[in-house]
Amino acid sequence: MKKLPAEAEEAPRKIYGRKRDRVYLYVRNKILTREFRPGAMIDPQEIADTLDVSRTPIQEALTRLEQEGFIEIIPQVGIFVRTPTSEELFEKLISRAVLEGLLTKWATPRIGDEELRLLEELAELMNAGQLTAEAYSLVNREFHNVIHVASGLHYVRLLVEHQWNLVDYTAVIDFVFQP
């Protein structure tokens, strides 16, 4: 099971002051780390107890997660972690490719020598062929993140981050949870 760094677990409390944002990050992290597995029911009361928040920020966060494709809310039945369809995954990959091209174009004139050295080191690590699949994925993501940050396009970076999370989540479902 993928474990987020301690600072990522703390991020909802440190960075986001609004309760709905804390709830959103908490549930999304549980989904991305597979603590909430595909098809699992999410208990809003458990979230309320854990984060000490009322139902309103929970509902706001869950609505956002549903819009992003991480969960499905079925009235009078429950809230479930969903598995995106192959069509959704295809569209996420296409949109991520387009957005990453834009980030790269904006990063090109802004990137510094330090970032270039880091990109070279990360590329060497990936090309060495000695990384596990999980380690390769993390190094690859960091490689792209260096470029994304250099672009200076914060909002586009957030869009790509969402696409990347959902694609990674879907890939793990396909390889780990399918018979």
Is residue 13 over pLDDT 50?
A: no
User: Residue 57: which domain range?
Assistant: 6-81
pLDDT digits (tens, 9 = 90+) for 38-90: 899 999 999 999 999 999 999 999 999 998 889 999 999 999 999 878 888 88
More confident residue, 11 or 63: 63
Among the three residues 52, 81, 110, which one is the final residue of a domain in this structure?
A: 81
Gap between the Cα atoms of 153 and 121, Å rounded: 24
Does residue 48 fall inside a structural domain? yes
> What pLDDT does 178 receive?
43
Among the three residues 43, 64, 81, which one is the final residue of a domain in this structure?
A: 81
Phi-psi region of 54 (alpha: psi -120 to 50; beta: other; left: phi over 0): beta
107 and 170 housed in the same domain: yes
pTM beyond 0.75: the answer is: no
Does residue 42 fall inside a structural domain? yes
66 and 46 housed in the same domain: yes
44 and 94 housed in the same domain: no
> What pLDDT does 3 receive?
52
92 and 169 housed in the same domain: yes
Mean pLDDT in the chain? 84
98 and 41 housed in the same domain: no
95 and 170 housed in the same domain: yes
User: What's the CATH code of the domain at 47?
Assistant: 1.10.10.10
Among the three residues 33, 54, 81, which one is the final residue of a domain in this structure?
A: 81
Does residue 1 fall inside a structural domain? no
> What pLDDT does 156 receive?
93
59 and 91 housed in the same domain: no
pLDDT digits (tens, 9 = 90+) for 88-119: 888 888 998 999 999 999 999 999 999 999 99
Count of structural domains, the chain: 2
Does residue 134 fall inside a structural domain? yes
133 and 104 housed in the same domain: yes
Least confident interval from 2-6, 79-83, 150-154: 2-6
Does residue 59 fall inside a structural domain? yes
109 and 164 housed in the same domain: yes
Gap between the Cα atoms of 74 and 79, Å rounded: 6
Phi-psi region of 78 (alpha: psi -120 to 50; beta: other; left: phi over 0): left
Question: From the CB of residue 160, how many other CB atoms can be counted at a distance below 10 Å?
Answer: 23
Confidence of residue 171 (pLDDT cuts 50, 70, 90): low
Q: Are 96 and 102 in contact (CB under 8 A)?
A: no
